[in-house]
Structure 1
Amino acid sequence: MNRRRNLWISLIAALLSASLVAGLYQLQRIQMQREGTVAVVVPSRFIGAGERLTTEMLAYKHIPESAWAPNMLVDAAAAQGKETVIPLGAGEPILDWKVGSYYLQPKPSESTFQIPKEYIRSISNGIRAGDKVLLYASGEGAPRRLFEESIIVASVKSSGNVEIDNMDNPNLMSMADGDKEKMYASRREANGMIEYLNLNMTEAQWLELDGLCKDGKLKVVVAYSPDSLNVEVSGEETRS
């Protein structure tokens, strides 16, 4: 009886010892693999173009050093608060050009609508692409605010349907140089008479505006919003 029990104890001890050795080998193998890898920032799920990145959307993934490129983000803080330029697949390394602070593309729930000139009563002359505006209905009865939230301006154009630009610091030149700060500044400092206005709106917002203005009894007043003073630079809030 004792001999059989000792045999079982020896067998169990051998199995435990083998498991321990295998576990240590696996840990060493993982450690060696990680020493030859780089942790990069990836989306934790599919993210559509125009979405603003939050902590919950981001994760880290180890990739081989040979697959790493300098334009891959390795710090989640560099992506937080920015918007996606193009859709991002779950688990794919985020490249720096795929996110931006000054991006003007509509969110997934929005589209860019050009507001007909006959719908507009007045536009604040200081607005530029990237600004936030408030919309008011003016006409029969007391004026009223159309939407609780502010609306992002996608573009402002002249009578020639050309984007209003700063001649001393052309927006297109700044874009070609990859200088986002100068590109954004050129939009803000541009001078010109606004003839065409494009706004990023939801379908429901556009249908409401169109329904109010199409008979000509009400028109829209476009006012510059103080929210436009909050400009995001590298994920931090600053004053422009």
Structure 2
Amino acid sequence: MNRKRSLLISLTAALLAGALVYGVYVLQVKQVELQQTVSILVPKSFIPSGTMITSDMVEAMPIVAGAFQEGMVTELSAIVGGEAVVPLGTQEPILQWKVDRFHLLPNRTQSTFHIPKEYILSLSGGIRAGDQVELYISGGEGESRQLFDRAITVASVKSSANIEVDNPKNSNLTSKLNSDAERMYASRREANGTIDQINLNLTGEEWLTIDGYCKTKKAKLVIALTASYALGEDNLRKP
């Protein structure tokens, strides 16, 4: 009995020792993995919302693998040519949801609405397709005020001839015929000309609100670029 007990104790001790060694090994492997680095992309300097991102705006920054989160961008091809949906801070990890490649298009809850000229009191002359604007209501009952608590995306701007205000160096129509969506989008962002008509991406409820105020002609819209665009005008409007 004593011999069997001794064998059982020895076997148990050996199993416990083996489990301890394995546990230490697993911890060491995890520690090594955590110490490994992953290169992610970050802005070299502050990028205002609405800016089209180019390769010279970002740089690679190593972080420990344990700090890497799903959605962090590691490849230039994933963001170059895209548009910053929100402001991006210096050295801030760029997440995929913060960059939209075709932000001119309405989302699932929106449609693109033409804003009648008679609804507009004032329209910032520097507005282009893809800009973020704020809508204010002027006149009618009550004081003038901001209409919505969010910025609105400009889908397109047109001239008095009902022609898309375009980039003369890179025609939007030519890019469309060549099925070059990237260049077509870029040409709309770099458009230049006198604005006569404007189309906005709005929800149905937002459009009904605008129509409700303006159809009586007692109130009109003031359409203004957001502060982030005004501050980043030099960077956003390079010829």
Residue equivalent to 1:186: 190
Amino acid across the alignment from 2:194 = G
Whether the aligned pair in 2 keeps the contact of 1:135 and 1:147 (CA below 8 Å) is yes
Whether the aligned pair in 2 keeps the contact of 1:136 and 1:144 (CA below 8 Å) is yes
- Structure 2 unaligned regions, length at least 5: 41-68, 80-91
Residue equivalent to 2:137: 137
Paired positions, count: 189
Amino acid across the alignment from 1:170 = S
TM-score, normalization: structure 2? 0.55
Aligned counterparts of 1:230 and 1:22: Cα–Cα separation in 2: 58
Amino acid across the alignment from 1:82 = K
Please report the RMSD computed on the Cα atoms of aligned residues, expressed in angstroms: 4.7
> Judging changes above 3 Å, is the alpha-carbon distance between structure 1 residues 20 and 157 closer, same or farther for their aligned structure 2 residues?
same
Deviation string for 1:142-185 (max 9, x for gaps)?
53332243322121123454321121343566783946996466
Whether the aligned pair in 2 keeps the contact of 1:132 and 1:228 (CA below 8 Å) is yes
> Judging changes above 3 Å, is the alpha-carbon distance between structure 1 residues 104 and 20 closer, same or farther for their aligned structure 2 residues?
same
1:198 positional shift: 1.5
Residue equivalent to 1:157: 158
Q: Which runs of 4+ in 1 moved over 6 A?
A: 20-27
Aligned counterparts of 1:159 and 1:185: Cα–Cα separation in 2: 19
Amino acid across the alignment from 1:210 = D
Deviates more, 1:175-184 or 1:3-12: 175-184
Residue equivalent to 2:119: 119
Whether the aligned pair in 2 keeps the contact of 1:172 and 1:183 (CA below 8 Å) is no
- Structure 1 unaligned regions, length at least 5: 42-57, 62-68, 85-99, 232-237
Residue equivalent to 1:59: 70
- SS of 2:6's equivalent in the other structure is helix
Residue equivalent to 1:9: 9
Residue equivalent to 1:225: 226
Aligned counterparts of 1:180 and 1:19: Cα–Cα separation in 2: 62
TM-score, normalization: structure 1? 0.55
Residue equivalent to 1:170: 171
Aligned counterparts of 1:60 and 1:3: Cα–Cα separation in 2: 60
Residue equivalent to 1:87: none
Whether the aligned pair in 2 keeps the contact of 1:135 and 1:220 (CA below 8 Å) is yes
Aligned counterparts of 2:78 and 2:186: Cα–Cα separation in 1: 23
Aligned counterparts of 1:72 and 1:24: Cα–Cα separation in 2: 39
Residue equivalent to 2:57: none
Aligned counterparts of 2:94 and 2:183: Cα–Cα separation in 1: 17
Whether the aligned pair in 2 keeps the contact of 1:171 and 1:186 (CA below 8 Å) is no
Amino acid across the alignment from 2:115 = I
Aligned counterparts of 2:24 and 2:184: Cα–Cα separation in 1: 50
Aligned counterparts of 1:10 and 1:183: Cα–Cα separation in 2: 78
Aligned counterparts of 2:152 and 2:181: Cα–Cα separation in 1: 29
Amino acid across the alignment from 2:70 = A
- Spell out the pairing of 1:93-112 with structure 2 (5 A cutoff): 100=101, 103-107=103-107, 109-112=109-112
